[in-house]
Amino acid sequence: MKIAIGADHAGFQLKTAIVQYLQERGYEFQDFGVFSSESVDYPDQAALIAKAVAGGDFDQGIIICGTGIGVSIAANKIPGIRAALCHDVFSARMARAHNNSNVLALGARVVGPGLAETIVVAYLEAEFAGGRHQLRVDKISKLEE
């Protein structure tokens, strides 16, 4: 699984913690920045990650801003992206299992690094359940036409 990860300035520190986690666990990933706390606009970072995933070079994206709301709204504007804002483990599992999400959005001002890491583990280890859920995900894709 190839993962694209990115953040705005508000998510920079949490991204650093998650990058370290991904490294320690041997995940294949690319860090799209930012690499400092200097202010940037979250739609730019969300678009980078969303386009990397939608383009097919990455299987999953992780995108972080202050609340996770801005980046999830922006990422979901890119065709083919199903970004899920998850601040609990159950939602993280269900986003993959039922919605076949391909971007996890997190809010660095909402969850601390410990919970964020648990959410990331749950998200990356979950699998799409298919079946009736495939039909529903197909209906989401049709909304892009």
Tell me the catalytic residues.
65, 98
Based on CB atoms, which residue is closest to ligand RB5, 10 or 53? 10
| Angular region, 7: left φ>0, alpha ψ -120 to 50, beta rest | beta
Size of the site for ligand RB5 (CB under 6 A): 8
Give the Cα separation of 9 and 25 in Å (integer). Answer: 25
Question: Mask: binding to ligand RB5, 34-53, rule CB under 6 A, as x and -?
Answer: --------x-----------
Question: Mask: binding to ligand RB5, 10-39, rule CB under 6 A, as x and -?
Answer: x-----------------------------
Closest CA to 75 of 98, 37, 48: 48
Q: Is 69 in the site for ligand RB5 (CB under 6 A)?
A: yes
Closest CA to 75 of 137, 8, 133, 142: 8
The one-letter amino acid at 144? E
Q: Is 8 in the site for ligand RB5 (CB under 6 A)?
A: yes
Choose one: 15-23, 52-60, 66-74, 75-83; the region binding ligand RB5 (CB under 6 A): 66-74
49 touches 22 (CB < 8 A): no
Nearest distance in Å: CB 41, ligand RB5 = 9
User: How are strands ordered across the β-sheet holding 83-85?
Assistant: 28-31, 2-7, 60-65, 103-107, 83-85
Nearest distance in Å: CB 105, ligand RB5 = 9
Nearest distance in Å: CB 38, ligand RB5 = 12
| Residues listed for the chain | 145
Binding residues vs ligand RB5 (CB under 6 A): 8, 10, 42, 65-67, 69-70
